[in-house]
Amino acid sequence: MISLSINGTNHDVDVEASTPLLYVLRNDLDFKGPRFGCGLAQCGACTVLVDGVATRSCVTPVSAVRGQITTLEGLARNGRLDPLQQAWIDEQVPQCGYCQNGQILTARALLNANPNPTDSEIRAGMEGVLCRCMSYYRIQAAIKRAAGQSTAAFYNASPAAAKSGVTT
């Protein structure tokens, strides 16, 4: 049995230790936020936060996870959307929306580490998250819209997260 803490709830799963976290989240626990895009840590579609750090669940063995997992569906708090999610709606960011899980969670990690990023810090921080609908312009607008609003980090970022904001 492997224990996972996801969006504040504990889950026990009985799977091979090497199973990528992505498949446990999607197939055993029915989370729909993290999605398969490449399985190669190249696109970001499968992103979850682990202690506030953007983590690619497609290449993370379930047994290697140490810390609190947050998925897209766990980002809202007390019935209120994360300011980034609200900004995503206000800016009407998605086209198909398939990549947006990774965009939103990576942006969350970025803002946790750097609440008021410059344009070039946004570009650099988001560089590894791909969108094949090319909604980048609206994504960047939404991050700028939300940036001022996140006075306190929404999640408790780990020291590592505070340094880089993003891991891949």
Partner 1 sequence: MTRHRPGLTLPSEIAEAVHSINPSTSRRGFLKASGALFISAYLGVNPTGRALAQAASGSAGPYPIPDYRQLDTWIVIHPDNTATFHVGKTDGGQGTGTAYRQMMCDELDIAYDRAVLIMGNTDITPDQGGSGGSDGIEVDGWPMRRTAAEARRVLLELASDSLDTPVAELTVNNGTVSVVSNSSRSVTYAELIGGRRFDVTLTGDNINQTRGLADVKPVQDLRVIGQSLPRYDIPAKVDGSLTWAVDVKLPGMVHARNVRPPVAGATLASVDEASVSGLPGFVAVVRRRNYLAVVFEREEQAINGARALRAEWTPPAEAAFPRSADLFDFMRVQTPTSSSRTVITGDPDAAFAVAARVLEADYEVPFQGHTAIGPAHALADPSNGLMTIYSNDMKIYGLRLGVARFLAMPEDRVRAIYMDGPQVYGRTAADDVGFEAAFLAKELGRPVRVQWSRDEETAWDTKGPAYTFRMRGALDATGRPVAIEYEARSLDYNHVGYNEPDTVLIAQLMGLRPAQPAQGGAALPSSQYGIEHQRMVGHVVSLPMIWETPLRCGNLRDPNGPQVTYAFEAFIDEMATAANADPVEFRLSMIEDSTEDALFRKARSLATVRAAAESYGWDNRPSPNPLMAAASSPIVNGRGIAYTFRSGTVVAIIADVEVNRETGRIFVRRLVCAHDCGLVINPMGMKYTVECGMLHGLSRALWEEVRFDNEKVTSVDWASHPTLRHSDTPESIEVIIVNGDPNPDRPDMPHYGAGEACHKPMIAAVANAFHDATGVRLRRVPFRPESVLEALRQQIS
Q: Which of residues 85-144 bind ligand FES (CB under 6 A)?
A: 94-100, 131-133, 135
28 secondary structure, DSSP code? I
**Among ligand FES, partner 1, none, partner that 46 touches (CB below 5 to 8 angstroms by kind):** ligand FES
**Among ligand FES, partner 1, none, partner that 101 touches (CB below 5 to 8 angstroms by kind):** partner 1
Q: Binding of partner 1 at residue 12 (CB under 8 A)?
A: yes
What number of CA atoms fall less than 13 Å from residue 40's CA on the CB side?
A: 6
Q: How far is the CB of 11 from partner 1 (least distance, A)?
A: 6
Q: Binding of ligand FES at residue 43 (CB under 6 A)?
A: yes
What DSSP element (H or E) covers 159? helix 159-164
Binding mask 4-33 for ligand FES (x = CB under 6 A): ------------------------------
What DSSP element (H or E) covers 10? strand 9-13
Stretch that binds ligand FES, among 23-31, 41-49, 78-86, 112-120 (CB under 6 A): 41-49
Other Cβ atoms closer than 10 A to 66: 7
Q: Which of 23, 49, 57, 165 binds partner 1 (CB under 8 A)?
A: 23
Enumerate long-range contacts of 40-45, CB under 8 Å, 24 or more apart.
41/168, 42/128, 42/130, 43/99, 43/102, 43/129, 43/130, 44/99, 44/102, 44/103, 44/106, 44/128, 44/129, 44/130, 44/168, 45/98, 45/99, 45/101, 45/102, 45/130
Identity of the residue numbered 115? P
Where do contacts with partner 1 occur on this chain (CB under 8 A)? 9-12, 15-16, 19-20, 23, 26-33, 35-40, 42-43, 45, 71-76, 81, 85, 88-89, 92-101, 104, 119, 122-124, 126-127, 129-140
